[in-house]
Amino acid sequence: MDRSAIILAGGVSSRLGQDKGLLTLAGKPLIKHVLDAVEDIVDEKLVVVSSKIQSERYSKVVREHARILVDSAKEHGPLVGALTGLEQTSGSYSLILPCDTPFVSKDVLTLLLELCINKSAAIPRWPNCYIEPLQAVYCAKPAMNAAREALSVGKFNMQAMVDKLRGIRYISTLVLEQLDPELKTFLNVNTAMDLKKAEGMLRKSGKR
């Protein structure tokens, strides 16, 4: 098994008042949009949540499509979720994705997987040097070690893990625009307004 997808679903949106990944868009939960995007490009799908209660909620939606994991540490956050997935993945390379990106591009993800070979990570980077560590591919073992090291010194963000990796390949979003002209792949649904925007984008594209 070479490729896996680790989808982080541990966060509960205070602005939306519920699990973001379970919000419905076009008749299916946001997390199913992400799972569908990785369906044919990975060998293993893991969904990481932060509690047994969340695990029960998500199992009703993704049980047949992915394995559900509960955070391995008392602390929560993207880095803890990433480590939980990296510790249990069988893949050599792991996509790490949020659960609330309904337009995540299969073409973009496929390119990142290809560009990560023989590298510690393949991470999108904007012209202003801002990076997208939560829509990136990591070589599982070095990333796991880097995450553990960051957490051991009290750092809980993805950047702390990235800072400890060597041999990263950064991919300009200008390149990714060739595959996803509007870069919709990076659209996160964090608010009710974001959800309405996503619905409008689907109507505009003729997909419902």
Q: Which CATH number does the domain housing residue 15 bear?
A: 3.90.550.10
Predicted local confidence at residue 83, as pLDDT: 96
- Give a yes or no: residue 164 inside a domain: yes
Provide the β-strand partners of residue 137. 95, 122
Per-residue pLDDT at 71 exceeds 90: no
Summary mean pLDDT of the chain = 91
**Euclidean distance between CA atoms 51 and 29, whole angstroms:** 19
Number of domains, the chain = 1
Asked whether residue 62 is domain-assigned, the answer is: yes
| Token pair of 58 as six digits | 């998500």
pLDDT of 92 > 70? The answer is: yes
- Segments forming the whole domain that contains residue 154: 3-197
Q: Indicate the SS3 state at residue 168.
A: strand
Quick one: pLDDT at residue 13? Answer: 60
Q: Quick one: CA torsion of 174, 176, 177, 181, rounded to 10 degrees? A: -160
Q: Is residue 207 part of a domain?
A: no
Q: What is the CA radius of gyration of the chain?
A: 16
Q: Which of 93, 88, 124 is nearest to 107 (CA)?
A: 124
For residue 106, is it within any domain?
A: yes
pLDDT tens-digit series, residues 101-122: 999 999 999 999 999 999 999 9
Q: How confident is the model at residue 166 (pLDDT cuts 50, 70, 90)?
A: very high
Residue 208 falls within a domain, yes or no?
no
> Residue 207: pLDDT above 70?
no
**CA 36, chain centre distance (Å):** 13
Residue 203 in any domain: the answer is no
What is residue 119's DSSP assignment?
Answer: S
With respect to residue 205, please indicate whether it lies within any of the assigned structural domains.
Answer: no
